[in-house]
Amino acid sequence: MDIRKFKDLFAQRIMFLLCLFVLNIAFLMAFGLYMRAKPILEITSVGDLLFSLSWHPSEGQFGLASFIAGTLWVTIIAISIAVPFSVFTAIYLSEYCHKKVRNTIKPVIDLLAGISPVIYGVWGIVAIVPLVRDYLMPFFSERLPFFPFVSDNYTGYAAITGGMVLAVMVFPIIISVAEEVIRTVPFEIREVSLALGATRWQTIKHTILKKAWPGIIAAVILGLSRAFGETMAVLMVAGSALHVFPKSIFDPAYPLPALIANTYGEMMSVPLYDSAVMLAALLLLVVIALFNIAGWSILMYIGRKER
């Protein structure tokens, strides 16, 4: 065999093996977490673990319901805030913004993606916690005194605080993906709509968004996966109160990532503690993987359709 062909084949095989290794990391992580979670799954049903509110490791009770509820509260709040801001920002950048202004704004948005979660957490403590404690909580408590889901906790460390901080953290992902998807809509579609007498907003609303909505949904799903697994910033501002089932956005929330980060050092002293926390990590991994697969599948479908 020619030495050049041998080198080319050798390099190809090495790169294939490295690619295969990277692709298998997720499966190896899932398998490892499952094996560590297996002891508790053998003695307790999945339903009891997921839907029980009782978290007393010293008594062998490992109900994850309150932590799952905290994760859902924080994630839903974050996405509810992030989606309208991000989508309208993406529309402005792709349809209204001057090229020079866009080239100035996009690096700032990318900068938001690169900021450490700890910085977001500190910002949340300094700015968002006082906002929630001094303004939002009293506002709802005074004007809706009989509203059953308004908490009497006025510390400001609550699910809504974590959701607001998390919303800012997912802005860059949703904005970047949504803006790229909107810009891929053929320019001819815009010209036809404008030529028929539609205004620019009518063109965006009835033509461009109708064409781009699968990609926007994919952007939201990718942002959702980031929000679902975020740990440090949420841990710092959401309250992290054990044995508290959050019934409202003003109750303290203890999401699953915060549980794993806070209790991992304690688990060795209590039997099955390790398995319970590994099960929480496995649950997070599976949900985030499903979100990412769904989001990227939609984007790949759009790409194939455009070609």
| CATH number of the domain enclosing 110 | 1.10.3720.10
DSSP H or E segment with residue 284 = helix 273-306
**9 within domain boundaries:** no
Q: Is residue 13 part of a domain?
A: no
- pLDDT over 80 (residue 189): yes
* Count of other CB atoms within 10 angstroms of residue 290: 12
In a domain, 21, yes or no: no
Please state, in angstroms and rounded to a whole number, the distance separating the CA atoms of residues 17 and 22: 9
Q: What are the start-end ranges of the E strands in the chain?
A: 55-56, 61-62
Note down the domain range covering 51. Answer: 31-306
Q: Measured at the alpha carbon of residue 55, what is the angle toward residues 49 and 57, in degrees to the nearest 5? A: 100
Tell me whether residue 2 is in a domain: no
At residue 80, the pLDDT reads 93
229: tokens are 């697994």
240 has pLDDT over 80: no
Q: What is the pLDDT of residue 252?
A: 87
Cα–Cα distances in angstroms (integers) from residue 42 to residues 37, 59, 269, 272, 281, in the given order:
9, 17, 20, 11, 17
Residue 197 included in any domain: yes
Q: How confident is the model at residue 79 (pLDDT cuts 50, 70, 90)?
A: very high
CB atoms within 10 A of CB 293: 12
In a domain, 96, yes or no: yes
Please answer whether residues 158 and 251 qualify as being in contact, where contact means their C-beta atoms are separated by less than 8 angstroms: yes
Distance between CA atoms of 237 and 230, rounded to whole angstroms?
12
With a CB cutoff of 8 Å and minimum separation 6, the contacts of 186 are: none
How many domains would you assign to the chain? 1
Q: pTM to 2 decimals? A: 0.86
> Residue 123 pLDDT more than 90?
yes
The pLDDT assigned to 249 comes to 84
List, as own/partner pairs, every contact residues 88-94 make where C-beta atoms lie below 8 angstroms and the sequence separation is at least 24, other chains included: 89/171, 89/175, 89/179, 90/174, 90/175, 90/178, 90/179, 90/182, 90/216, 90/219, 91/182, 91/204, 91/209, 93/175, 93/179, 94/179, 94/182, 94/183
State the chain's mean pLDDT as an integer.
85
3-state secondary structure of 116: coil
Binning pLDDT at 50, 70 and 90, where does residue 18 land?
confident
Q: What is the mean pLDDT of residues 32-40?
A: 89
Task: Please say if the pLDDT value at position 67 is more than 60.
Answer: yes
Q: In which residue are the tokens 């009518």 written?
A: 202
Asked whether residue 253 is assigned to any structural domain, the reply reads yes
With 60 as the cut, is the pLDDT of residue 148 above it?
Answer: no
